[in-house]
Chain A
Amino acid sequence: MVTSAKPALLEAVGISKSFGPVEVLGDINLSLVPGEVHAIIGENGAGKSTLMKILAGHLPPTKGELRMDGQPVVMAGPVDAEHRGIVLVHQEILLAPDLTVAQNIYLGREIRKGLTLDDKAMNKGAAEAVRALGIDIDPTTVVGRLSIARRQLVQIARALLVPHRVVIFDEPTASLTLTETDALLRVILDIKKKGAAVLYISHRLPEVKEIADRVTVLRDGKLITTRPAEGLEAVDMARLMVGRDVAKLYPDRVATTAPDFALEVESMNVPGYAQDASFKLRQGEILGFAGLVGAGRTELLEGAVGLRPAHGKVKLNGKPVNFVTVRDSMRAGIVYLSEDRKGKGLLLAQNLGINLTLAALGQFLRGMLIDRRKEAKALDGAITEFDIRTRNKDLLAGQLSGGNQQKLLLAKMMLLDPKIVIIDEPTRGIDIGTKEQIYKFIAELAQSGKSVIVISSEMQEVIGICDRILVMRNGRIVGEVAGERMTEDEIVVLATGVTSREAASMAEHA
């Protein structure tokens, strides 16, 4: 090991974590030395977030111990960890949207002048903190007015304000553009130069390659390896993460050549999100929508099915239709599965049966009454057909894992027997095994003559399962790729509008 000469700043020794009978982390040994960037990579569900939460004091380990400077420590909570110099930059934005940038940065640690707040000092401090990140934001701006990316940077500025020895970044670039990512990576190198240790969690391998000194790979809660980043290519990392050849994840498929269009959308405008978008979906086709977060893909399709106000022409099997509400499009045989599974897809506090039949409740009525026996039968059927893994059938939807929630959502919408299925981020937050099942299911849908639209920010995913890909940028459809041209390079160029080779290679495998 390159850095083994230096004493470890923070060390995990034989850390395990179980939730009930399920072990999500097993026997992890990890050391962080001053002045290194240590990347942790792994698929969703590999245990990255859990490990990070243990290191930052959010969760106690079930077994094993943490050591700081060689001394065993037990962290009482995140505040305790912060006192010890361990700060965590969350993936989600945890800022008060109605407060200003400076007020957020100093929230809970306000600078006072006598009895009153010293706004001048805080604004000045905040401006410096933000400038240190290489961006220019007026500290008196209300956070709610900032883009998601800028909020993320404000959050980082807030985290770095306290004296820190270990900084943990949890997928900080997930919602950042290339320029913003570049700026952030420079910040991280800066933190490293000042002698702190950085733990960098990401599945964007090119970034990892660029800044990490060492890389630790987690798979299914186990530590696979810790290696120097030097000489480790992105492809090697991917192989280590997945533990097999990545290409086999996607089912074999012959793109449809059906001449008929199931859905035609013409000059669709979704105010504030999408402009003048036109596209056609073939019978039995899997059509991908790629683009950066915020490109307007979700909003365009939500507009097309009547989930948000939109203007434009929609034709179904060649006939013009007008969807005022989502009920209209559902009746016409189109279902939309939201990317926000927990917020818009399932009632987390209700049981599986209620969730399953919610959209198709009409099928379960006998007169005025809900036929509970038929509901129970449908649930049994869905559990078998979609392989929903649940300890018992009385669980609440919120108690299922992400993958099983997605299967339940699929089952719920398939009860409507749709002709067109729109799936937004079909595998977000889902483990690799379930991903494979969902890809297979999507391919089978198309095989059976249904038409499918897949919106995804994971480029490998759209390339792997789609027949044709439309790329959106800033609310417009800027290009289409199909066949041989379905490569990440092509998509990145379209999605970002940046043609430089640097930008393209930067986002490779992103």
Chain B
Amino acid sequence: MTDTTATKSAARRSLGDIDLRAVAPFVALAFLLVLGALVNPNFLGVDNLLNVLTRSAFIAIIAVGATFVISAGGLDLSVGAMSAFVAGVMILFMNTGVIGGDIAMLAVAMLLAVGVGALCGLANGAITTVGRIEPFIVTLGTMGIFRALTIYLAEGGSIAMKAPDLRAAYRPIYFGSVFGVPIPILVILAVALIGAFLLYRTAFGRHVIAVGSNEDVARYSGIPVNRVRTLTYVIQGVCVAIAVLVYVPRLGAATPTTGLLWELQAITAVVIGGTALKGGVGRIWGTICGALILEVVGNIMVLSNFVSEYLIGAVQGAIIIIAMLVQRSLVRKR
């Protein structure tokens, strides 16, 4: 009998609201674009829009990784601190100058960054799964560790790229463009495409959703739950590293404030995008849309005089709460 009741309410949900939830972030983004255009005619200019997209790159790329972690039922609070740590290690390596030739040096440094990111993710994943500790606690701990290590490596100051030639060679990764499209935007696209492919089309992606949906069912179905979980954190680490690759040429330095509150923004982007915080639903394109919404809101605040731009953090914090309330009400309406 309870079956029938559940059947009834679930049936109603499937009709309207699952689609509604997938569409909601895009509707919100469209609404913001209209709002932006009304506030300032320059908003819809190609330059401004490309600028907004470029600036959203770090969060968007990290948030793609966060989509995997969260849809598998996990959480990673350490991504901001991890970004700073990976950036610091990468720059310190480049400053050693052990490899002659700028291109070779850059290539090796990038590989190193990705490797370090993957290892950081592996640590998060292994401690969570093998140690059976709540990911909230584990990544809260590693967040402190990564941040402190960065400050230690920087000896309390910042870590800057020393070689000007190398800096010049690296610069285009953030400031350059291909056929008029800034490279960071291409990186977002590439990461999102690979992410969507992994999550939607491969067995691994199916396993991620299964584990996030119900870990027991996944285990009884013969899915290696711990391995899947751990891999989502490794993917998160690699995404952080890719974001760092785009970030380093922008300032050429890692500072104690690098990546500060990025975890908040990444999780916000994922949640706005319609991924369920309790796992079982993952939306890569929704996440990208969520990252754009965050950046567009910031941009509108800068272009308008409604609210002080110093309050961007407050507005972004409010957005995640509002996004949750909207999701909740969409569920209730069914």
Contacts and interface: CB of A to CB of B under 8 A. Distances in A.
Interface of A: 19-20, 22, 24, 45, 47-50, 53, 59, 307, 325-327, 330, 336, 338, 340, 343-350, 354, 358-359, 361-362, 365, 368-370, 394-396, 398-402, 405, 412, 429
B14 A344 contact: no
A266 B4 CA distance: 43
B285 to A, nearest CB: 18
Contacts of B224: 325, 327
Contact of B222 (A330, A347, A395, A399): A330
B125 interface: no
Interface size class of B (residues with CB under 8 A): 20 to 34
B325 to A, nearest CB: 21
B91 to A, nearest CB: 35
A399 B216 contact: no
A362 B2 contact: no
A48 B1 CA distance: 8
Interface in B14-37: 14
B4 A350 contact: no
A358 B10 CA distance: 21
Contacts of B218: 358
Nearest to A395: B14
B213 A49 contact: no
A370 B204 CA distance: 10
A283 to B, nearest CB: 24
B4 A345 contact: no
B223 interface: yes
Interface in B196-252: 201-203, 206-207, 209-210, 213-214, 216-224
A71 B288 CA distance: 60
B220 A336 contact: yes
7 contacts: A20-B7, A22-B4, A48-B1, A344-B219, A354-B210, A368-B202, A399-B10
B280 interface: yes
Interface string B175-214: 0000000000000000000000000011100110110011
B216 A19 contact: no
A359 B221 contact: yes
A483 to B, nearest CB: 34
B222 A19 contact: no
Nearest to B204: A368
Contacts of B207: 361
Given A19-B8, A399-B7, A347 B213 contact: yes
B302 to A, nearest CB: 40
B14 A396 contact: yes
B4 A19 contact: yes
Given A370-B201, A398-B6, A399-B10, A344 B217 contact: yes
A49 B222 contact: no
B222 A354 contact: no
A401 B209 contact: no
A149 B47 CA distance: 70
Given A20-B11, A50-B1, A358 B214 contact: no
A192 B14 CA distance: 46
B201 to A, nearest CB: 5
A326 B201 CA distance: 25
A361 B206 contact: yes
A112 to B, nearest CB: 34
Contact of B217 (A307, A325, A347, A369): A347
B96 interface: no
Closest 6 CB pairs of A and B: A359-B221, A49-B1, A50-B1, A347-B213, A19-B4, A344-B216
Contacts of B8: 19-20
